[in-house]
Amino acid sequence: MTVHSTIDIGIQAPAALVFRVARGVERWDRLLPHYARSLVVERGPDGSLVVDFVARRPLIGVLGLGMPVAWRSRTWSEPETLRLRFVHVAGATRGMDVTWRIEATPTGCHVSIDHDFRPRLPGFAAFVDRWFTRPIAGRTLATIKAIAEALDEPEPEIVQATKIRS
């Protein structure tokens, strides 16, 4: 049985900006604090990448304790539709199909991530979704939101200091 889940968020930044931030998966370990690794292990002639990911799933947030979760994905971006695609090719989630959809709205954009997973073990997909996919994807979306909204803020006005003579 295939388990389908969607997680989404509204972002007050242009869809094109959010796409540019999110599509750079090879730098996620530098942009997203819960990612420990996003290492490109293969570059396809079609522009796709095979990337080893390691993210920390928070366990006891107050103490900063998290469990490392690793997987390998073939990933590519579709600029014309503002979509990111991931197919897990190794790890416990092998076969998971993930689609990011970034759609413009009047106030910025709406980002949804669809996960489709059909493992061999019954019940495993629901367990993975509840305890790993949602916590990691939710944190990823929240961080992408914070980055994009910060980048979209207007430049602060530069106030020239004047020396007051007394």
13 located within any domain: yes
- Which range marks the domain in which residue 120 is found? 3-33+76-152
For the range 131-137, what are the long-range contacts, defined as Cβ-Cβ under 8 Å and sequence gap of 24 or more? Answer: 131/57, 132/57, 132/69, 132/93, 133/5, 133/7, 133/93, 134/5, 134/7, 135/57, 135/58, 136/34, 136/55, 136/57, 136/69, 137/7, 137/113
Look up the CATH number of the domain holding residue 102. 3.30.530.20
Q: How many domains does the chain have?
A: 1
Task: Tell which wins on pLDDT, 65 or 158.
Answer: 65
Task: Tell which wins on pLDDT, 44 or 159.
Answer: 44
109 located within any domain: yes
Q: What is the pTM of this model?
A: 0.87
